[in-house]
């Protein structure tokens, strides 16, 4: 089958697979129980060049804008069945780092990029609030200018890397009546006075991914920590949405492929009525459907990767990738779990974790309904 990956990407895949097998997989169950991945993994990943892929080599990064390397990381993490543990790394590389790369001034580059590249500074982005999900214009967290500082007040919730993070890009209203032009990106750093992390939110899936509430009570954020220009947060937040949504869609596809692989192995080993489950017509038909959906999805996703590399991936096409990939993930993990029977509902097999982890994919990064709205707007243009 033709592939967009060359030998360099496959060597990178082998290297990252070895890293996951030795440094992450043995601890997956412990992280699921603890509700958080060991923070040291970011540093270990950084030592091997798996964080900060797109950061310039002058700051210790990989110096590549080729998103195929990011896609390889996504595929390996999904295939390992690690639950939410891998999400922190993809968030750091695919979603947060681009904001620092694109909008840091020279002083901020020197201050933050080396640590982001090495994994010593774990990143997060805080948009969602208790009363505000997809409606960014409804954000209530606000920052008032006071000399060379901003006084930040408000709260955020459902923040991935909420506990492990050192640098949090906080979306805050800096002009009360500014509408879309009234919001800015402020980088809150670990240890700032008045900044508190709330509970690690208990979730039905993604247990090893720390997802926290954040509280800001008169936090004095230096004006030097404004990312980009004041008042342009809404514009900035749209620049990386295509990559973010493609990343989620790719994870959905990779998770579906992993689920299919586990299921094929299981039905060939498990017997019922004296015959392997794989011998029954229903099993064959289910696997045929799943395999076909995966097969026709991969070329589309790879086309999106190449378009992203070329700077040509449209918002509508990225929305299609996110919508289809996340919905595919949900359908496939559900159908595969059914073939495991009662064992699929236990934690003995990775399919159960994959099934519960899959549900959030249709919500974060923009719900399926929001994706359909974006796509329909393009169709009807």
Q: Which residues carry out catalysis?
A: 244
* Interatomic CA distance for residues 227 and 192, integer angstroms: 17
Phi-psi region of 341 (alpha: psi -120 to 50; beta: other; left: phi over 0): left
Name 140's Cβ contacts closer than 8 Å, sequence gap at least 6. Answer: 129, 131, 132, 154, 173
Reduced to 3 states (helix: H, G, I; strand: E, B; else coil), residue 168 is: strand
The contacts found for 135-142 with CB under 8 angstroms, 24 or more apart, are 136/171, 136/183, 136/234, 136/237, 137/179, 137/180, 137/234, 139/171, 139/172, 139/173, 139/183, 140/173, 141/170, 141/171, 141/172, 141/173, 141/216, 142/172, 142/173, 142/174, 142/176
Token pair belonging to 169: 């890009």
Extract the runs of DSSP E, i.e. beta strands, from the chain.
123-126, 142-146, 149-160, 167-173, 183-189, 195-200, 211-222, 226-227, 271-272, 275-276
């Amino acid at each position: 089958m033709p592939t967009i990956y060359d030998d360099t990407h496959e060597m990178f895949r082998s290297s990252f697979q070895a890293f996951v097998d030795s440094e992450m997989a043995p601890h997956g169950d412990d992280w699921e129980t603890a509700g958080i991945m060991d923070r040291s993994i970011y540093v270990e990943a950084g030592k091997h060049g798996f964080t900060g892929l797109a950061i310039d080599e002058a700051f210790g990064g990989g110096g590549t804008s080729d998103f195929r390397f990011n896609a390889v990381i996504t595929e390996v993490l999904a295939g390992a069945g690690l639950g939410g543990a891998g999400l922190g790394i993809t968030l750091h590389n695919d979603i947060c780092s681009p904001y620092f790369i694109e909008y840091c001034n020279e002083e901020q580059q020197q201050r933050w990029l080396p640590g982001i590249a090495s994994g010593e500074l774990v990143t997060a982005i805080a948009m969602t609030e208790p009363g505000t999900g997809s409606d960014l214009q409804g954000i209530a967290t606000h920052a008032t200018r006071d000399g060379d500082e901003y006084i930040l007040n408000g709260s955020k919730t459902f923040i991935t890397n909420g506990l492990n993070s050192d640098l949090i890009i906080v979306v805050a209203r800096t002009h009360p009546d500014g509408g879309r032009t009234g919001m800015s990106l402020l980088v809150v750093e670990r240890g700032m006075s008045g900044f508190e992390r709330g509970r690690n939110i208990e979730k039905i899936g993604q247990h090893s991914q720390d997802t926290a509430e954040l509280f800001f009570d008169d936090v004095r954020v230096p004006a030097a920590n404004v990312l980009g220009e004041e008042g342009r947060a809404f514009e900035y937040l749209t620049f990386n949405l295509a990559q973010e949504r493609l990343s989620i869609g790719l994870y959905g596809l990779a998770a579906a492929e992993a689920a299919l692989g586990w299921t094929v192995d299981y039905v060939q080993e498990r017997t019922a009525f004296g015959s392997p489950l794989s011998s029954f017509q229903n099993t064959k038909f289910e696997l045929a459907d799943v395999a076909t959906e995966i097969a026709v999805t991969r070329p589309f996703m790879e086309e999106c990767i190449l378009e992203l590399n070329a700077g040509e991936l449209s918002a509508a096409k990225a929305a299609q990738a996110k919508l289809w990939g996340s919905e595919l993930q949900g359908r496939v993990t559900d159908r595969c779990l059914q073939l495991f029977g009662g064992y699929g509902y236990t934690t003995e097999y990775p399919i159960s974790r994959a099934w519960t982890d899959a549900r959030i994919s249709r919500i974060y990064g923009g719900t399926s309904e929001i994706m359909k709205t974006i796509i329909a707007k393009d169709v009807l243009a």
